[in-house]
Structure 1
Amino acid sequence: MQRRTLLRLSLGAGAVIAVAGTGAALWAPGLSAGKLSPGARTMVNAISSAVLDGLLPAAPEARALALQAQLGRFELTVANLPPATRKELSDLLALLSSAAGRWSLMSLHTPWETASVAEVSAALEMMRMSSMDTRQQIYHALRDLTTASWFSDAAHWAQMGYPGPRAL
C-alpha cells in the first residue's frame, strides 16, 4: 500500500466517524428536559463506576443502588449549569454514547453496557494523558462532574476527610 492511499483511507475513515458521531448527537441529545437519555445514563454509569472505584460499596446490590443515586445527583448537578454549558454537555454525552464517538474520542471499543471498570479507567487515563487538548478537556469535565455530584451528598463527605460545616 502506498503512503498516499493510506492517508486517503485514514482521512476518509476519520470523516465517516465524525459524520456518524455528529449525526448521532443531532438525532438523540444526551440531555432532554434535564434528564439523561438512556444511552447517556449507561455511559455516565460506566464512567461513574470507573471514577468512583474505591469509593463505591463493594457489595453488588449496594453498588448498584449507589450508582443509581449517583445518576440522580449527576442530573441535578448538570441542571445547575448555565444553559450554554448544558447544551455543550448534552452534545458531548450524545457523542460519547454513540459507538463512533466512544471509539474515536476514548479509544474504547467495548460498548458501555459491557465495558469493565478497568477498560473504562484505561480509556479515561488515555484521555488524561492525550496530547490532544480536546480529549483532556473531556476527561476533566467527566471526572469533575462525576466527583462533584458524588460529593454533593453530605453522606460522602467523610470519604474525603471533610467533617462538614461547623456549628455556629
Structure 2
Amino acid sequence: MAGQAADSLTLMKLSRRQLLIAGIASAAAAGGVALVTLRPRTREMPMPISEFLREHDKSLLIALAQVLLAGALSEDEAQQTTQLQTVIERLDAACLLLYPRARDELRELFDLLDHQAGRFLLTGDALAVEQRDSAAREQILESWRQHFLALITSAYHGLHNLVIASFYGDPQHWHLLDYAGPPTVRVYPESV
C-alpha cells in the first residue's frame, strides 16, 4: 500500500514548465468561455455587406477621433460634426479594403469595446469610452499607445492610422498639412 502511494505521488509531480503550461491553458480556456458566455444577448442585425462599421462602432470612433484630431477639427460645432461624419464614412470604406484577417481583428476589438467586460479589460473601467470626457479618452489612447502588450499597442496604431488617414485623405484638409495636392501631369499628344 505504501509503495502504491509513493508511486502515485511520483506521477503527480509536475515540472515547472508543465505546471505553467497547464495554468496558461486553463486561464485561456476560462477566458474564452467567459467571453463567449458574457456577450450581450441582444445584438443588432448583421451589418449590410456595404458597411463594416456598426452604429456603436461609429459613436466610439467619433469619440476617439475627437481626441486624435484635436486641433485639426473645426471649432464650429456643425462643421466639426460634418468633418467627423466624413471621417467615419471614409474609415468605413477603408475597413472594407483591409485584409480579411486585419478586418476580423478590428471587428473583435470593436466587439470587445461594445461589451462591459471587454471595456474593463481594455480601459480599466466598464463605462463606455464615448461617455467619458475627452481627458479620459486621451488617457485611454495614451495607455494603449504605451501598453506593455504589443497587441494593444498594435490596435492603437491601427486605429490611429485609420482615423488620421481618413481625415487627411480628404482634399479639403490638405491645407492643414501645407499640401497643395498631387502634381498635375501633362499629357502631350503623340507626334506623328
Q: TM-score range by the shorter chain?
A: 0.7 to 0.9
CA distance in 2, matches of 1:142, 1:21: 24
> Secondary structure, in 3 states, of the residue corresponding to 2:184?
coil
> Cα distance, 1:112 vs. partner?
2.9
The structure whose Rg is larger is: 2
In the alignment, what sits opposite 2:103?
86
Distance 1:81 1:124, change over 3 A: same
> What corresponds to 1:157 in structure 2?
174
Name the structure, 1 or 2, with higher relative contact order (CA <8 Å, separation 6+): 1
Q: Give the counterpart letter for 1:138 in structure 2.
A: A
1:19 counterpart = 2:44: no
TM-score normalised per structure 1 = 0.78
2:67 matched to 1:36? no
**TM-fit CA distance, 1:121:** 0.8
Q: 1:26 to 1:71 in 2, by over 3 A?
A: farther
Tell me how far 1:35 sits from its aligned partner. 3.1
Consecutive unaligned residues of structure 1, counting only runs of 5 or more, are 1-11
In structure 2, what is the equivalent of residue 115 of structure 1? Answer: 132
Alpha-carbon RMSD across the aligned residues, in angstroms, is 2.9
**In structure 1, the residue corresponding to 2:148 is in which secondary structure?**
coil
- Structure 2 Cα separation of the partners of residues 150 and 41 of structure 1: 15
Residue matched to 1:130: 147
Compared CA separation, residues 21 and 70, structure 1 to 2 (3 A)? farther
| TM-score, normalisation: structure 2 | 0.69
Q: Percent identity?
A: 25
Q: Where in structure 2 are there 5+ consecutive unaligned residues?
A: 1-26, 186-192
- State the distance in 1 between where 2:121 and 2:178 align: 37
What is the number of residues matched between the two proteins? Answer: 155
Which residue does 2:163 correspond to in 1?
146
